[in-house]
Each structure stands twice: as C-alpha cells, then as structure tokens.
C-alpha cells in the first residue's frame, strides 16, 4: 500500500468539508446572490476567523516550546 501524497491528503480534507456543508445545509455551495449570500464577504469572514484560531494555536505552540 502506497503512502498518500500531500496533495491527496489536502484534497481529502477539502472533500470532507464539502461533505459536511452538503449535509449541514442540504445542498451545494450557493452561488453569490443565491438566498442573499455573498461568497466574497463570507470568505473574508471565514479567513479572518481562521487567522484568529491559527494565531491562538501559534501562541499555544510557542508557550509549550518556550515555557516561562
């Protein structure tokens, strides 16, 4: 059995997220304008949320590597 490539693993993560969204919202990703959705605005909000969580994780890792 061969080891999965990084690209394959990334694609699996994306597929998992698409599957979760499909189940949670009972459909495909809406196009901008569908049901008053703004994909650009929602993307920006999600990216900012991700940056907040990532910053918190970075602080946690740094604290573990360099305890005071």
* Residues in CB range of 30: below 8 A, 6 or more apart: 37, 39
pLDDT at 2: 83
Per-residue pLDDT tens over the stretch 9-56: 999 999 999 999 999 989 998 888 888 889 999 999 999 999 999 999
Residue 32 half-sphere exposure toward CB, CA atoms < 13 A: 6
* Residues in CB range of 32: below 8 A, 6 or more apart: 38, 39, 40
Domain ranges of the chain: 1-30, 37-68
pLDDT at 57 over 90: yes
């Amino acid at each position: 059995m061969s080891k999965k490539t990084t690209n394959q693993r990334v694609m699996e993560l994306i597929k998992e997220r698409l599957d979760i969204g499909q189940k949670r919202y009972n459909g495909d990703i809406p196009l901008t304008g569908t049901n008053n959705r703004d994909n650009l605005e929602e993307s920006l909000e999600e990216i900012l949320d991700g940056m907040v969580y990532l910053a918190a994780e970075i602080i946690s890792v740094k604290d573990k590597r360099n305890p005071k």
